[in-house]
Amino acid sequence: MDKLLIRGGRTLQGEVMVSGAKNAALPELCAALLTAEPVTLLNVPQLQDVSTMLKLIRNMGVAAERADDGTVRIDASALNSPEAPYELVKTMRASVLALGPLLARFGEATVSLPGGCAIGSRPVDQHIKGMAAMGAEIVVEHGYIIAKLPAGWKRLKGARITTDMVTVTGTENFLMAAALAEGETVLENAAQEPEISDLAEMLIAMGAKIEGHGTSRIRIQGVERLHGCTHRVVADRIEAGTFLCAVAATGGDVVLRHGRADHLDAVIDKLREAGVTVEAVDGGIRVQSPGGGALKVQGFRTTEYPGFPTDMQAQFMALNCIAQGTATVTETIFENRFMHVNELMRLGAKIQTDGKVAVIEGVPRLSGATVMATDLRASASLVIAGLVADGETMVDRIYHLDRGYDCMEAKLRGIGADIERVKA
């Protein structure tokens, strides 16, 4: 397995391009299954999860071409196998996003229960509940969700769906399924993430009738068919936030091209309170920082969007480790999302955890060591810590990083970091 070797202590300067959002690209690849006409997606990131999703839809009989410039062309007119087998989806939880489109267009779907990062339970029962509300007959057996329309039905039926919790992939699945359902569907307690709004805009470009995306109540008036479209994937706010924390920790002055400050309000507010200068500029975000030692630690609580994102908790914790003072971080979304703590402590961080709460006491310096990534965002936190640690840090198991960051080490080198990929 590849590793990252980081020699810390360099400030970051220059410009970095923010890639398209993984969490928008994956559902949008599935949305292309809703039509027999060609769909073109622009700004698709070069990520392992994207490669897995493309392999998955090709296995269904879909034609999918991927260019080096981030363009993906999809033609699902010959789709002949509405199934997502375990062998192809065991590393990616987003595979469940195939359920809604397949059920809506073909009246049946067989989807493996998903895998992915080991950061806690992400039950699919809400997906099943929503599809059942729209009339689907669903059983779960032998590790698969098996769904079909009742005998004689040609389409799903619109319904009012209220989930027990806010679920991003659930909202996305319901959006896609409802687009081709008969009648109106109302999603209550819907997730409000920018990636959901981006998916809705793509569906609207395909002919869907959707109102309220970006709020907790979304209305979808089903149509009989959708057509092809060309859509540009929104910029990845988590990648942008990760670079914001990296520059904040190391010190420096960097412009994040294509970054959207309006998608990162909660993170940017905390960075500013810490002592970092962050401003929206034409075509991106500019971040200026004196470095972690001059900053103040910040406490926060992860919540659903527009609150502080769980996907930024680990990266901001790395910044807190070398800032001044003591702060409390509470993780409310996933129960196993402090697995990076022990690895940060190997670098000299002072952190105590008790259940969902971590108390971080900033230290003057971190010291390079060999550490192991445990999940996607934990990987990013260890990279940030390595950028400021004395000496060399080796980050192992970076296949997690490759699932969610497009050429991260190359982008960091481009703004002055001493970082290289070491081939296994």
What residues act catalytically?
A: 117
Pairwise CA distance, residues 261 & 281, whole Å: 9
Pairing mode, strands 326-330 and 300-301: parallel
C-alpha closest to that of 397 among 321, 339, 318: 339
Do the Cβ atoms of 320 and 329 come closer than 8 Å?
yes
Do the Cβ atoms of 252 and 12 come closer than 8 Å?
yes
C-alpha closest to that of 1 among 373, 367, 378, 276: 373
CA dihedral 184, 187, 193, 195 (to 10 degrees): -40
**Axis-axis angle for helices 99-106, 125-133 (nearest 10):** 20
Pairwise CA distance, residues 107 & 379, whole Å: 40
The string of DSSP codes covering 133-166 is HTT-EEEEETTEEEEEPPTT--S-B--EEE-SS-
Where are any strands of DSSP class E within 241-335? Answer: 252-257, 277-281, 284-289, 300-301, 326-330
Task: For the beta carbon of residue 78, count every other beta carbon within 10 angstroms.
Answer: 10
Q: Give 280's DSSP letter.
A: E
Count of H-run helices and E-run strands, the chain = 14, 24
Q: Give 418's DSSP letter.
A: E
